[in-house]
Amino acid sequence: MSVDKLKKVNPKRFNMTLLSKHYILETTKQNKHMFELNVWTLWRVFIVQMGTKKIEDKLFAEIKGRIKEEDISAPVRKGPYYYYKKTLEGKEYVQYCRRLISDNQKVPSVNDTMPTGPDAPPEHVILDENIKAQQHEYYSIGTFKVSPNNKLVAYAEDTKGDEIYTVYVMDIETQAPIGEPLVSVTSNLEWAGDDALVYVTMDNILRPDKAWFHALGTKQSKDTCLYEEKDDTFSLDLEASENKKYLFVASESKTTRFNFYLDVSKHEEGLKVLTQRVDGIDTTVSHRGDHFFIKRRSDQFFNSEVVACAVNNTSSTTVLIPHRESVKIQEIQLFSDHLVAYERENGLPKIIVYHLPSVGEPLRSLESGQVVSFIDPVYYVDSSESEFSSSILRFSYSSLKTPPSVYDYDMKAGISVLKKIDSVLGGFDATKYVTERQWARASDGTLIPMSLVYRKDLVKLDGSDPLLLYGYGSYEACIDPSFKSSRLSLLDRGFIYVIAHIRGGGEMGRQWYENGKLLKKKNTFTDFIACAEHLIEKKFCSKERLCINGRSAGGLLIGGVLNMRPDLFKAAVAGVPFVDVVTTMLDPTIPLTTSEWEEWGDPRKEEFYFYMKSYSPVDNVKVQNYPHILVTAGLNDPRVLYSEPAKFVAKLRDMKTDDNILLFKCELGAGHFSKSGRFEKLQEDAFTYTFFLKTLNMTNHL
């Protein structure tokens, strides 16, 4: 059917959707090919009709032009080798590489650099994702772990985007496979010495429920089940201690977590209980010397405390870092002589380094830790892999105007050394950009922090500037202000970019999360609306220039606020949005439902049913005008089934009273996290930005 004929059938609906109810309801195995064909055909029709393909291509070229295509990551020292990832010009995926450290006896220093000249030890490419990905539309390695003796590597690959992995083990030097692959597993695996693995599998609703011990060279069917979690509200996690002497299998819900430990040197003894299952107690564990170290959260100590117990007496604990109501302990990292705490205070991340007494000496409360300092007013910090036996802490850092950076910090001298900062080509100058913080007052008086960035020579701050407001607000996730080079294509066109740190996230501590979940979930939506209203009031933008964006649970946020205040926004993008909340949470046979009743509520209970029904986007679409909307999905998405956003789009199409654009874009070869190639991801950014520019009438001068 031609473009003109499509328009004649229903001119109002033509540019409002790419997917009719027919395609939504009849996607069976028998007609899947026809579904994909029709979606693709309609999508191409839209691209031609809207006349945006040239704009998208120009933006993509611009975004790609900022990338240093041939590059390496900051090398990580492990034993006698430097390990790193390498990207090649024109290639979508990475190579995993290593080089021998010629002076391995030298004590590691923050000033060490990996030699790369002709006299340096040769580079060895362990695995090339580009070769592996040739036969697949989607390719992702979820885990890549080298054995303790540096002879073998185990890696988990996903070739569909459904997050069901196959694990391969190979000899690093010869590339020879070791044994048969492990199939239908998660990406969560650890080495148990040099000749065994521990891994996790899922049940039929993709809940990680069993931990297994696998001896290399044996069949998967002969593996030993270490633990099975039968409570379908709990899922398994697996971690290794920093010194690799212990593995920890944890079973966790949204409020409770308890742990078992496996002594790698005595794996035949199996798992032993480390922390008991107690409702409302959440523990994360590690090991050093003759002590286990435990980060422990409870209703009383809601921002967590750090305690230690003797390996031979796990029932008696000593408080090392006490609970503080204004400081949340996010994570701890152990070294042979130090403990590093990643904390949050007033919404900003912090790193505190504590010196530990020698192994064998008594542990007591830790005093006067040294604070690692940062320069930006708002920023992002994350832990990185470091050598347990060294005194060098590695961490990553960025801000809305500072590209991703890797630092080594000498914990004895208190000195930070920049090891790598991502190159941004095309004349990027960080001094042109301003980052700042704003606070919006919510309807109940709570102050909501926002992180902003804009180009100071382009914005007018008189209400006429275009603005993109991003939000998430679920699962205690912290959406910290980090750098994204593709975002410069908006900033350099005069956009202001803002992150709303709304309740339901974890930016302001545990209570911030508790006040945006279950029967307080609507705070997430009203906080976001308050941020939008504040930005308009302070003349950062106007309703006619305000765009919003969110993914997954952030897509739920977008759907919710569109129903509540459609008049407030010009354009919205809801990526893989969780929008059919009640229907999904009523079905325990689909992924994530049972484990998420503690996040959203169990709608089989009347109180939760009616509360969830009052905000679920699909259930609250109204006969009213809506802004321009783009909704995306992934055909293989196990987290948000593509039928949810498709249903939302269909209902909007039937009920909305305007002629604004409503698009549904379903990626046919991807899952929840979109396409897998690095340039493919940039192409998606280019498309999204084209949508915003088109709806704001900013495409004429591109």
In the structure encoding, which two tokens stand for residue 699, read together?
A: 């495409």
Q: Does the pLDDT value for residue 28 go beyond 50?
A: no
Answer for the pair 468, 431: CB distance below 8 angstroms, yes or no. Answer: no
Sign of the Cα pseudo-torsion (4, 6, 12, 14, in order): negative
Q: Does the pLDDT value for residue 6 go beyond 70?
A: no
206-220 pLDDT, tens digit each: 999 999 999 999 999
Give the total residue count for the chain: 702
Confidence at residue 700, expressed as pLDDT on a 0 to 100 scale: 80
Half-sphere exposure of 560 (CA within 13 A, CB side): 27
Residues 6+ apart with CB under 8 A from 22: none
Q: Does the pLDDT value for residue 349 go beyond 50?
A: yes
Average pLDDT for 66-85: 96
Answer for the pair 274, 314: CB distance below 8 angstroms, yes or no. Answer: yes
Active site members: 552, 637, 672
- Residue bearing the bigger pLDDT, 340 or 679: 340
- DSSP assignment of 612-632, as one string? HHTT-GGGG--SS---EEEEE
652-681 pLDDT, tens digit each: 999 999 999 999 999 988 888 888 889 999
In the structure encoding, which two tokens stand for residue 630, read together?
A: 């783009």
Task: For residue 637, name the pLDDT band (cuts at 50, 70, 90).
Answer: confident
Task: For residue 25, name the pLDDT band (cuts at 50, 70, 90).
Answer: very low
pLDDT, averaged across the chain:
92
Confidence at residue 41, expressed as pLDDT on a 0 to 100 scale: 40
Instruction: Provide the residue ranges of all domains of the chain, joining segments of one domain with +.
Output: 32-65+427-696
The residue written with tokens 């328009």 in the block is: 7
The residue written with tokens 């690692």 in the block is: 372
User: Which of 422-439 are b and which e, b meaning 16 or more Cβ less than 10 Å from the residue's Cβ?
Assistant: bebeeeeeeebbbbeebe
Q: Does the pLDDT value for residue 47 go beyond 80?
A: no
- Which fold does the domain 32-65+427-696 belong to in CATH? Rossmann fold (3.40.50)
Per DSSP (E only), the strands in 241-300 are: 246-252, 257-263, 272-275, 282-288, 291-297
Q: Does the pLDDT value for residue 16 go beyond 60?
A: no
Confidence at residue 125, expressed as pLDDT on a 0 to 100 scale: 98
Q: What is the share, in percent, of the chain residues with pLDDT greater than 90?
A: 87
Rounded Cα distance between 437 and 425, Å, is: 27
Task: For residue 43, name the pLDDT band (cuts at 50, 70, 90).
Answer: very low
Average pLDDT for 473-499: 97
Which of the 8 DSSP states describes residue 62?
Answer: H
Angle between helices 678-695 and 53-64 (to 10 degrees): 130
369-384 pLDDT, tens digit each: 999 999 899 999 999 9
Task: For residue 701, name the pLDDT band (cuts at 50, 70, 90).
Answer: low
Task: For residue 447, name the pLDDT band (cuts at 50, 70, 90).
Answer: very high
Confidence at residue 11, expressed as pLDDT on a 0 to 100 scale: 31
